[in-house]
């Protein structure tokens, strides 16, 4: 059985551009001036970041993957049937958690959340082939406006992998 994925787009290209322009105005007129990392994550930026994470100099992705592989079984033992991933990108490292949840017999749904529609669709397509019995419900949105649109689940595990949290301002990180 191959399930048809659902993709909720709350941030289409036009709104994404307007949102980024609005945030640029806010951050560049504030003191001190700054520019949000969200400017990096259009389709080209996501592809570039993916290439960077595969370079020998970028150790974080390899270290994180090793930690996930070492502890994925313990994480899956929490019994969650749904994995929600914030800032999912290509979802490459996510397979460690998906494999462990699948092996534990409790994986029924994966909900990736990302700002790049193209990257999210490509990840869902690739993962759909690997996990044909899993429901995929992607959400295209940004952390400032769309976290509340993530579908609910009975028992969900929320993953916030990689350096995405470093792209958020301290006040946003704290909630």
Does 109 score more than 90 pLDDT?
A: yes
Q: What pLDDT, on the 0 to 100 scale, is given for residue 42?
A: 67
What length is written for the chain? 175
Other CB atoms within 10 A of residue 130 CB: 11
Instruction: Read off the tokens for 22.
Output: 């609005």
Q: What pLDDT, on the 0 to 100 scale, is given for residue 52?
A: 87
**119 assigned to some structural domain:** yes
CA 23, chain centre distance (Å): 20
Report the number of distinct structural domains present in the chain: 1
**82 assigned to some structural domain:** yes
Where in the sequence is the domain holding 27, given as residue range(s)?
6-174
**114 assigned to some structural domain:** yes
The model's pTM is: 0.83
**120 assigned to some structural domain:** yes
- Sign of the Cα pseudo-torsion (151, 44, 92, 68, in order): negative
**1 assigned to some structural domain:** no
**99 assigned to some structural domain:** yes
**58 assigned to some structural domain:** yes
**100 assigned to some structural domain:** yes
Which one is predicted more confidently, 166 or 89? 89
In which band, very low, low, confident or very high, does the pLDDT at 115 lie, cut at 50, 70 and 90? confident
pLDDT in tens, 127-144: 999 999 999 999 999 877
Instruction: Read off the tokens for 39.
Output: 């400017």
Q: What pLDDT, on the 0 to 100 scale, is given for residue 51?
A: 87
Q: Domain holding 151: CATH number? A: 3.40.50.150
Please say whether the beta carbons of 42 and 21 come within 8 A.
no
Given strand 6-9, what is the order of strands in its sheet?
6-9, 135-140, 109-114, 82-86, 156-159
């Amino acid at each position: 059985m191959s399930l048809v994925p659902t993709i909720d787009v709350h941030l289409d290209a036009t709104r994404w551009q307007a949102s980024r322009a609005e945030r640029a105005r806010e951050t560049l007129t504030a003191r001190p001036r700054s520019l949000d990392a969200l400017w990096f994550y259009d389709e080209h930026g996501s592809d570039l970041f993916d290439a960077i994470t595969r370079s020998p100099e970028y150790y974080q992705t390899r270290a994180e993957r090793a930690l996930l592989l070492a502890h994925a079984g313990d994480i899956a033992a929490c019994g969650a049937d749904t994995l929600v991933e914030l800032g999912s990108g290509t979802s490459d490292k996510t397979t460690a958690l998906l494999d462990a949840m699948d092996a534990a017999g409790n994986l029924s749904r994966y909900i990736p959340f990302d700002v790049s529609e193209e990257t999210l669709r490509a990840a869902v397509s690739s993962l759909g082939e690997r996990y044909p019995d899993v429901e995929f419900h992607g959400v295209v949105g940004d952390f400032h406006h769309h976290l509340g649109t993530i579908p609910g689940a009975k028992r969900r595990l929320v993953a916030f992998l990689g350096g995405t949290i470093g792209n958020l301002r301290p006040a946003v990180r704290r909630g």
